[in-house]
Structure formats: structure tokens, C-alpha cells
Amino acid sequence: GENVEQHPSTLSVQEGDSAVIKCTYSDSASNYFPWYKQELGKGPQLIIDIRSNVGEKKDQRIAVTLNKTAKHFSLHITETQPEDSAVYFCAASLYSSASKIIFGSGTRLSIRP
């Protein structure tokens, strides 16, 4: 089955700097890669996603890149702000109507003022 590994487990960056979180997946059949943000005491919430027919996607300060050959995908947050502090999860699934979503172990991002 699918296995998703995520690094680093914790990340601390200065406000205004960039943050990068990296994930790898094992199942070459996976073709949908969402990223979720979880704030304290809340359920995870989708922030951006990418499908395997696209190499990069950007939404304001957030971008995701995908390397299908290497089975790597990454989240990039630029100009970090205090409200970016949270736990971030990558995930992988099959783009079909019957597929589970497998999550990475999470990255706790802290933004230093």
C-alpha cells in the first residue's frame, strides 16, 4: 500500500523567510497530492493540492511542486507570517471515486517574530 514520508518533523523560520516541507510517496499509481494545515484544537484543512499532470501550482504565498519520476513533492511558503504557524500534512491518493487518502507524519512549523 501507499506510504508517505514527510520531512522535517519540526521547522522554525524567521518571519518573512521561506519554509519548505518535503514529502515522498511509494505508490507510483498515486496521482493526487493535497496539503493540509492543522491549527491547534482543529481538524486539518486543505490549503493547496496538485494532480500528477501538473508539475507546479501556486496560490499567493503557497506553492507546491511535484516530481513524479522521483516520487517527491514539496510545499513552499514564502514571506512567512505568524499565522502560518501550524502543523502541515502532505498526503497522497488515487484520483478516483474510491480511494483512501494517506497522510505524512506532519511538520510543525513555527514562525519566529
Smallest gap, in angstroms, from Cβ of residue 16 to another protein?
27
Closer to another protein by Cβ: residue 9 or 81: 9
Q: Are 25 and 6 in contact (CB under 8 A)?
A: no
- All cell numbers assigned to 110: 513555527
Q: How far apart are CA 74 and CA 44, in angstroms?
A: 18
Smallest gap, in angstroms, from Cβ of residue 8 to another protein?
13
- All cell numbers assigned to 40: 491547534
Closer to another protein by Cβ: residue 65 or 99: 99
- Give residues in contact with another protein (CB under 8 A): 1, 6, 32, 34, 36, 41-46, 49, 89, 93-106
Smallest gap, in angstroms, from Cβ of residue 48 to another protein?
11
Q: How far apart are CA 32 and CA 100, in angstroms?
A: 11
- All cell numbers assigned to 92: 497522497
Closer to another protein by Cβ: residue 49 or 78: 49
